[in-house]
Amino acid sequence: MSYVRNIALAPNEGCTCPGCKSWLDHWERKTRRTALICGATDCRKPAMLGGHVRVSGNPVSHYVVPLCKACSERTDEFYVDKELVSSECEKNSRVW
Ligand SMILES: [Zn+2]
Ligand SMILES: [Zn+2]
């Protein structure tokens, strides 16, 4: 389980991996799992997007985890129990 906080992204900052259609897709491809429910342990609504988070206490970390819309807009810190996937894209990899 990880304690995380949302990172605000510009809306046009899509995943640039060849083959990823969205950040949720990015998470599914990296983990080879299907994102069904929101990763927040106190939520459990259907996962709608790949949320961008950093681990509490580590300001330079940047991961993708499945979240629902509401949880992607949270400003508090919360626990997620889904795998955290690096937000770095294949090829055009960016330094965050
Ligand atoms: Zn990707
Ligand atoms: Zn949620």
CA 40 to ligand 2 center in whole angstroms: 5
CA 21 to each of CA 62, 78, 79: distance values in angstroms, whole numbers, following the listed order: 19, 27, 26
CA 48 to ligand 2 center in whole angstroms: 9
Residue 94 lies in a domain: no
Residue 30 lies in a domain: yes
CA 57 to ligand 2 center in whole angstroms: 22
Residue 79 lies in a domain: yes
* Helix count and strand count (H, E) for the chain: 2, 5
Q: Are the C-beta atoms of 50 and 6 separated by less than 8 Å?
A: no
pLDDT in tens, 35-74: 999 999 999 999 999 999 999 999 999 999 999 999 999 9
Residue 62 lies in a domain: yes
Residue 37 lies in a domain: yes
Q: Which domain holds residue 40?
A: 2-8+20-86
Judge if pTM exceeds 0.85: yes
Residue 48 lies in a domain: yes
pLDDT in tens, 7-18: 987 777 889 898
Residue 28 lies in a domain: yes
Q: Supply the pLDDT for residue 96.
A: 47
CA 91 to ligand 2 center in whole angstroms: 30
Q: Supply the pLDDT for residue 92.
A: 54
Q: Which ligand is nearest to the CA of 26?
A: 1
CB atoms within 10 A of CB 24: 21
CA 17 to ligand 1 center in whole angstroms: 4
Residue 13 lies in a domain: no
Q: Supply the pLDDT for residue 9.
A: 78
How many domains does the chain divide into? 1
pLDDT at 95 over 60: no
Q: Supply the pLDDT for residue 94.
A: 52
